[in-house]
Amino acid sequence: MAIQRTFSIIKPDATKRSLTGAINAKLEAAGLRIIAQKRIHLTKAQAGVFYEVHKERPFYDELCEFMASGPIVVQVLEGEDAIAKNREVMGATNPEEAAEGTIRKEFALSIGENSVHGSDGEDTAKVEIAYFFSGLELVG
């Protein structure tokens, strides 16, 4: 399996509860190296652009409001099969359905405030990384 890069966000519900370190420990334990990371605070409009793919869904406005409600930590993760591996460590979108040991099972508050984001494919990973990071910020 090839070495891949994926994009990750530690969401406002998690930064608010000082869970950045605990979440990073789970990512690193799974073999995902954090090759770029920064803490930022999005505007609702910036969150809206990031989640544009969900524009037609009923929770879009709530989601953008939430993502702009506090600081987030944006990251680039690198490792073997990193996209699928990160999705596995994250767990299901709804924490009630997430497997034991996953980030969402352990930390998420609800289907909306679910602590982390992870790219779902190679094309999305590229677009999402480029939205937040310049090439110079990716230190492998």
The least distance separating ligand GDP from the CB of residue 108, rounded to whole angstroms, comes to: 9
Burial class (CB in 10 A: 0-12, 13-18, 19+), 77: buried
Question: Cα–Cα distance between 69 and 91 in angstroms, integer?
Answer: 23
Among 6, 75, 86, 114, contact with ligand GDP (rule: CB under 6 A)? 114
Question: Cα–Cα distance between 47 and 61 in angstroms, integer?
Answer: 10
Among 3, 49, 59, 121, contact with ligand GDP (rule: CB under 6 A)? 59
> Nearer to ligand GDP by C-beta: 75 or 134?
75
Give yes or no: 41 in active site.
no
The least distance separating ligand GDP from the CB of residue 78, rounded to whole angstroms, comes to: 20
112 counts as binding ligand GDP under rule CB under 6 A:
yes
